[in-house]
Amino acid sequence: MRRLPLLLLWTTLAAAAVNDGIRRYLEKDRIPHWALRSDPNWGPVHVQPEQVHLSWAGPNAFWVTWLTFDDVREAVVQYGKTTEGRNLGRSVNGKMSYFKDGDTVRFISRAKIVLDDDENEPGDFYRYRVGSNRGWSSIYEFRYMKPREDGGYEIAFYGDMGNENARSMGMIQRMVQDGDIDLVHHVGDYGYDLNTDNGRVGDEFFRQIESAAAYVPYQPTPGNHENANNFTHYFHRFTPPNGGDPIFYSYDLDKVHFVSFSTEVYFYTDYGFELIKRQFEWLEKDLKAANANRKEVPWIVAMGHRPMYCSDFDGDDCTKYESIIRTGMPGTHAYALEKLFYDEGVDLLFFAHEHSYERLYPVFNRTVYTGPNSPYIDPPAPVHIVSGSAGCRENVDPFIEKPEPWSAFRSSNYGIGMLRVFNATHLRYKQIVAATESVEDEIWLVKTKHGNYGKNDRRRMEKHGIYVPYSFNASEDND
């Protein structure tokens, strides 16, 4: 049977991929529309690879993802050590999928680079390019990841960065290219929005971030601004460690087990309730396995877009007494995340969504621990950080005048966070202001033991904790 021209199948298959969340890859022996003429002087029109970005695929592996606006039939990464000069003598073939938004079809290529330890060593630098014989990208560089000499990696954490007023973009680009950032976690809300103008805003955002994301792994988490058409652009444009669905995933990096989850499944239930259950069951299983592996990977750091607590004046979920993210589905309290993270001993939780920065004291079930000694030395509950002020067209969110006791530090400056886990006991977090590139907040989180929060932790919370009731009034004396 003669193959149908690919052009005739675009709409049908792309729509199916949106509806069931399955990424469909094009067949290797397909005949693209331009090849039907059997003319060697004729080819695809929009061939230039663009929007190149890396993501973490293992201790010695990277995913490389890029986009073209036509089916160029091949997806290739050529790379070589920088010590080998201009020679890019190694190559890996990838696969191509596609999706449609309005009248625009985007072809997404993915290839996985795996560095053989017999020929490569952590710390080696490589040059690479992506594309095909129809068109090649510029040449970029990546490093076989290796902890810094005094321990750990420098990891950027932030959310809510748009195409317009991306105030932290230049700082991120420079820090990556200067070697000051080893990996980026963007905790939701990209471009504002990836789907705007049939995806053209998303294209421009990925072109902007390319000068950072093509050099270090750029790890995603979904936010509310990615919700259009069941998170179509987010699903197709990003590649998680396992190469599959980027809605929720986890991975180990040095001494840290990172968990990225979706807070948005609790709010966009028009796309179905099943994903809430599936994610929660996955989280239970993943965190139990991570807890059993604390001897090798002691820290657990989780990240989702919408926070459980905040002191912003905007009516968001984190300002509610029974936050959905914290306490679960209204009425039933099913799939409550705060108790799960507490029960499994999560050390640190990152959020964004609020266009501000706020560091919290250790907190669980609206009970705040501030002492009697340093609250960040062996805290009896998880520490929460909200950093959703990388910069966007919506400007910053205002704070309430007098915050609840859980608020340790807050700022309306645009900026990003930097996380460094030095070893099994010491973690440092810094918040950097975009306008001055100066540090405005810094803490050390010290854990001499990791694992489930136990009886001693509960006793400390009962003795020294401050419960924040529904009727809390910051103007009153609540000591």
pLDDT digits (tens, 9 = 90+) for 141-185: 999 999 999 999 999 999 999 999 999 999 999 999 999 999 999
Q: What is the C-alpha separation between 478 and 472, in angstroms, rounded? A: 8
Task: Tally the C-alpha atoms within 13 A of residue 451's C-alpha that lie toward its C-beta.
Answer: 10
Q: What is the C-alpha separation between 139 and 280, in angstroms, rounded? A: 41
Q: What number is the average pLDDT over the span 343-368?
A: 98
CB atoms within 10 A of CB 416: 27
Q: Residue 295 to residues 279, 342, 343: CA-CA distances in angstroms?
A: 26, 19, 18
Residue 478: pLDDT over 90: no
pLDDT digits (tens, 9 = 90+) for 18-72: 334 568 899 999 999 999 988 989 988 999 999 999 999 999 999 999 999 999 9
Residue 385: pLDDT over 50: yes
Across 222-376, where does the E strand assignment appear?
A: 249-253, 256-260, 299-303, 348-351, 357-360, 363-364, 367-369
Residue 351: pLDDT over 50: yes
Q: What is the pLDDT of residue 85?
A: 87
Which DSSP category does 442 fall into?
E
Residue 326: pLDDT over 60: yes
Confidence band for 473, pLDDT divided at 50, 70 and 90: low
Question: Is 74 in contact with 107 (CB distance < 8 Å)?
Answer: no
Confidence band for 471, pLDDT divided at 50, 70 and 90: confident
Scanning the structure block, which residue is given the tokens 């509806």? Answer: 19
Q: What is the C-alpha separation between 168 and 183, in angstroms, rounded? A: 16
Q: List the Cα angle 125/128/134 in 5-degree steps.
A: 175
Confidence band for 11, pLDDT divided at 50, 70 and 90: very low
Question: Is 292 in contact with 284 (CB distance < 8 Å)?
Answer: no
Q: What number is the average pLDDT over the span 201-210?
A: 98
Q: What is the C-alpha separation between 45 and 33, in angstroms, rounded? A: 11
Confidence band for 17, pLDDT divided at 50, 70 and 90: very low
Q: What number is the average pLDDT over the span 265-276?
A: 94
Residue 9: pLDDT over 90: no
Sign of CA dihedral 189, 193, 195, 200: negative
Q: What is the pLDDT of residue 118?
A: 79
CB atoms within 10 A of CB 150: 8
Question: Is 68 in contact with 49 (CB distance < 8 Å)?
Answer: yes
pTM of the model: 0.94
Scanning the structure block, which residue is given the tokens 């902007």? Answer: 208
Structural domains in the chain plus CATH codes: 6-143 (2.60.40.380), 155-467 (3.60.21.10)
- Residue 272's DSSP bridge partners are none
Q: What is the C-alpha separation between 213 and 219, in angstroms, rounded? A: 9
Q: Residue 224 to residues 48, 97, 193, 306: CA-CA distances in angstroms?
A: 31, 24, 10, 8
Q: What is the pLDDT of residue 369?
A: 98
Q: What is the pLDDT of residue 412?
A: 97
Q: Residue 379 to residues 59, 64, 134, 308, 368: CA-CA distances in angstroms?
A: 30, 39, 56, 18, 10
Cα dihedral: 128, 129, 131, 136 (round 10): -160
Q: List the Cα angle 338/340/346 in 5-degree steps.
A: 85
Question: Is 399 in contact with 313 (CB distance < 8 Å)?
Answer: yes
Q: What is the pLDDT of residue 6?
A: 43
Residues of the chain above pLDDT 70, percent: 94
Average pLDDT over the chain, rounded to an integer: 93
